[in-house]
Amino acid sequence: MNNFIAFGLPFYGCGTVVKGFGRGSKDLGIPTANLCKEVIDQLPEQMIPGVYFGWAQVDKSPVYKMVMSIGWNPFFKNKEKSMEIHILNKFEEDFYGSKLKVIVTGYIRQELDFSSVDELIQTINSDIDIAKTKLDDSTNQSYSNDKFFGLH
């Protein structure tokens, strides 16, 4: 399946990092940066709820690989749609209020419900491994240097 056609990709988004539910770091050990509602409202209709991958930049930082969940997180039964980005880099501090730019280049899977937190964590770690591999592909790698990130 061609991800670019089927899911409205690539998607370029930019917005402010807002406080999320506080579960990523505390409950899961997988911190996420949540984008504001304005960015979520700009998502193309083809971007169905699920897990995606691509590139992210916080303010003027380097560009990092990322994996992202879009949707309602059935395990936690969210009432509001969210866009939660796990950047594949260890940050020493939170960056609420920072500008986050993302280029979403691929789709991994649909949203799922889980029978336990451990099953959720295991699946997220599998998603991260898939994202790392796919982002090493030359087509996806080229987006890490996109002028959108202001590196040129």
Helix (H) or strand (E) holding 141: helix 138-141
Tell me the helices (H) and strands (E) count for the chain, helix number first. Answer: 5, 6
84 is catalytic: yes
Helix (H) or strand (E) holding 71: strand 64-71
First to last CA, the chain: 32
CB-based contact 49:109 (threshold 8 Å)? no
Give 63's DSSP letter: P
Catalytic residue among 38, 45, 80, 84: 84
131: left (phi > 0), else alpha (psi -120 to 50), else beta?
alpha
CB-based contact 123:114 (threshold 8 Å)? yes
Q: Which residues are catalytic, by number?
A: 84
